């Protein structure tokens, strides 16, 4: 089974269509396949940079694409719901049991409230997901109606994830318009996520740093 099969899977695409619709009604930022494709590719790039096999890169791309399907059931515990849905889908496809379990476990553990990076596929998924901070994740709406998640994402005018395997470093560099979002607001939303990234980077034998407006803040 290949990533291309999952990224074109009709059932998965319908889950994302409905799940993203639900999150939009709740006021959440974009969680469509635009996000999941970006996460899938970025997670694979992380594993490639740090010397992991093509097979593991393929696994993390599949996990990355599937990681948010649980939103179709409920945002709360979406990681766990998503893992169960992914397991059902993958059981019917040509994939080894060991690989299926790695994918499902990574999905189940990608949320900062309950998850943990216990191995490289999960670690790369976490970093790729939590570092997807960008203005165009905010849905079209009147800025007067922005909540804190909208403000934080909309304030990010530039986001770059640098991978430096020789130095064993992963660096997220953000340019933030502080007239839109204060650093207090940013850390209220993202401190837990960035801490999770730091722990995930350790699994890859690396350190994780956050640079905001030229200042090292983590």
Sequence ranges of the domains in the chain: 3-216
Q: How far apart are the first and last CA of the chain?
A: 38
Q: Which segments within the chain are labelled E, that is strand?
A: 156-164, 169-176, 207-212, 215-216
pLDDT in tens, 154-166: 999 999 999 999 9
Q: Which two tokens stand for residue 216?
A: 């090292």
In 3D space, the residue among 189, 70, 57, 77 whose CA is nearest the CA of residue 125 turns out to be 57
Tens digit of pLDDT for each residue in 76-118?
A: 999 999 999 999 999 988 889 999 999 999 999 999 989 999 9
User: Considering the entire predicted model, what is its pTM?
Assistant: 0.94
Architecture of domain 3-216: Orthogonal Bundle (1.10)
Decide which of 9 and 142 is more confident. 9
């Amino acid at each position: 089974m290949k990533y291309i099969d999952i990224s074109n899977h009709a059932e998965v695409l319908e889950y994302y269509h409905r799940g993203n619709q639900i999150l939009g009604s709740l006021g959440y930022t974009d969680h469509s396949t635009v996000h999941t494709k970006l996460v899938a590719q970025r997670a694979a790039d992380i594993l490639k940079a740090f010397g992991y096999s093509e097979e593991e890169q393929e696994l993390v791309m599949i996990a990355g694409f599937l990681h948010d399907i649980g939103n179709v059931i409920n945002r709360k515990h979406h990681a766990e719901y998503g893992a169960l849905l992914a397991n059902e889908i993958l059981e019917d496809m040509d994939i080894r049991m060991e690989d299926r379990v790695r994918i499902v476990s990574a999905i189940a553990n990608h949320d900062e409230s309950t998850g943990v990076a216990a191995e490289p596929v999960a670690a790369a998924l976490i970093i790729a997901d939590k570092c997807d901070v960008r203005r165009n994740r905010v849905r079209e709406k009147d800025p007067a109606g922005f909540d804190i998640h909208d403000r934080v994402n909309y304030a990010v005018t530039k986001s770059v994830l640098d991978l430096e395997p020789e130095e064993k470093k992963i660096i997220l560099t953000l340019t933030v318009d502080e007239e839109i979002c204060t650093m207090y607001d940013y850390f209220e939303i993202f401190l837990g996520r960035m801490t999770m990234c730091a722990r995930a980077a350790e699994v890859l034998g690396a350190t994780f740093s956050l640079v905001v407006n030229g200042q090292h803040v983590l």
